[in-house]
């Protein structure tokens, strides 16, 4: 049976054969994510969690762009300042989601476009995928527990290049670091994610859930704690001069001037 749930069109939600697929659908703005989109994704995950017909979730974008990260206009005008802000609800939802999550990533994956992948179980990337976590360049600190998970995944030296320098890295490097599972031509990434999700959906759900829980048991507590600490710093730093300058510069299409901050 195929159902299409009612969510804003910038997040398409489609459920079929035990797989719920969330598609970032704001390509004109490079799939940057607004508060409303985080809210829709958080709600979709919540409903997928409680719906026994959903066994696996797929998150995908477009073959030219996964996500340019948080909508920068939203950061300026509607900054998430409390733990119940939609972005933090989404991050708590994805990081504690008990069923498998498969992602397909093509093109740029900026900020949360990369860090949300740390909470997916299988990640398939197009050979055009470019990952970056430029939080420092925006006067911010990491989110999504990436300050813990990125050094753990890739080791401190490479984490420092990714998180202090904010340097982008391509799919081959992401594969080498263990962030992604496989590289395919961009036109094939979404289809591969669906095939793998269907394979998972055919397995016993209770065994999938228990296996995922056990694999994550060693980090569940620290991830939640770190995410809360990062969120408090992130919310404060959004209001400070360095971030305001970075966002204003992006909107004015100029280089930021950080000499006074
Ligand atoms: N928030 C809001 N709008 C964004 C955006 C973001 N994060 N990223 C891109 N856009 C918008 C641009 O303002 C532009 O809008 P316009 O056509 O109305 O002027 C449109 O999307 C296209 O972006 P553009 O920068 O022209 O595309 P590009 O192909 O040259 O570059 C990126 C793509 C993703 C590399 C680039 O857009 C980028 O670096 N974006 C910001 C990423 C970022 O810092 N995110 C925050 C992470 S915490």
Centre of ligand 1 from the C-alpha of residue 259, in Å:
24
- Cα–Cα distance for residue pair 258/242, rounded to 1 Å: 7
- Domain coordinates of the chain in residue numbers? 2-186+205-251
Judge whether residue 158 has pLDDT over 50.
yes
Model confidence pTM above 0.85: yes
Is residue 86 packed enough to be buried (19+ CB in 10 Å), middle (13-18) or exposed (0-12)? buried
Q: Of the candidates 120, 147, 145, 126, which has an alpha carbon nearest to the alpha carbon of residue 64?
A: 126
133 lines ligand 1 (CB under 6 A): no
In contact, 129 and 113? CB cutoff 8 Å: no
69 lines ligand 1 (CB under 6 A): yes
The per-residue pLDDT for 260 is 84
Centre of ligand 1 from the C-alpha of residue 72, in Å:
8
Beta bridge partner(s), residue 184: 126
User: H-helix or E-strand containing 222?
Assistant: helix 205-238
Beta bridge partner(s), residue 67: 109
Is residue 47 packed enough to be buried (19+ CB in 10 Å), middle (13-18) or exposed (0-12)? middle
pLDDT in tens, 171-192: 999 999 999 999 999 999 999 9
Cα end-to-end distance, the chain, whole Å: 56
Pairing outcome for strands 19-24 and 101-105: unpaired
In which band, very low, low, confident or very high, does the pLDDT at 209 lie, cut at 50, 70 and 90? very high
Judge whether residue 96 has pLDDT over 60.
yes
In which band, very low, low, confident or very high, does the pLDDT at 136 lie, cut at 50, 70 and 90? very high
Is residue 165 packed enough to be buried (19+ CB in 10 Å), middle (13-18) or exposed (0-12)? exposed
87 lines ligand 1 (CB under 6 A): no
Beta bridge partner(s), residue 182: 124
Residue whose CB lies within 8 A of the most ligand 1 atoms, among 68, 80, 134, for a mutation test: 68
Centre of ligand 1 from the C-alpha of residue 130, in Å:
14
For 238-249, what is the mean pLDDT?
Answer: 96
Centre of ligand 1 from the C-alpha of residue 261, in Å:
24
Specify the fold of 2-186+205-251: 2-enoyl-CoA Hydratase; Chain A, domain 1 (3.90.226)
166 lines ligand 1 (CB under 6 A): no
């Amino acid at each position: 049976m195929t159902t299409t749930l009612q969510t804003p069109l910038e997040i398409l939600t489609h459920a079929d054969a035990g797989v719920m697929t969330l598609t970032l659908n704001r390509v004109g703005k490079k799939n940057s994510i607004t508060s409303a989109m985080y809210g829709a994704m958080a709600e979709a995950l919540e409903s997928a969690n409680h719906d026994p017909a959903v066994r696996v979730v797929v998150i995908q974008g477009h073959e030219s762009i996964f996500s340019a990260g948080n909508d920068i206009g939203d950061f300026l005008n509607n900054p998430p300042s409390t733990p119940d802000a939609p972005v933090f609800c989404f991050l708590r939802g994805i990081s504690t989601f008990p069923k498998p999550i498969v992602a397909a990533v093509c093109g740029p994956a900026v900020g949360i476009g990369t860090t949300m992948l740390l909470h997916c179980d299988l990640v398939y990337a197009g050979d055009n995928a470019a990952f970056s976590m430029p939080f420092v360049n925006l006067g911010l600190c990491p989110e999504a527990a990436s300050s813990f998970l990125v050094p753990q995944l890739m080791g401190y030296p490479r984490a420092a290049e990714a998180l202090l320098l904010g340097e982008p890295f391509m799919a081959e490097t992401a594969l080498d670091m263990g962030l992604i599972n496989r590289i395919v031509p961009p036109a094939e990434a979404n289809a591969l994610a669906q095939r793998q999700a269907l394979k998972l959906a055919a397995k016993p759900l209770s065994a999938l859930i228990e296996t995922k829980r056990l694999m994550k048991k060693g980090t569940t507590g620290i991830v939640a704690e770190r995410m809360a600490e990062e969120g408090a710093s992130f919310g404060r730093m959004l209001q400070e001069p360095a971030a305001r300058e970075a966002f204003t510069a992006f909107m004015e299409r100029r280089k930021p001037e950080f000499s006074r901050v």
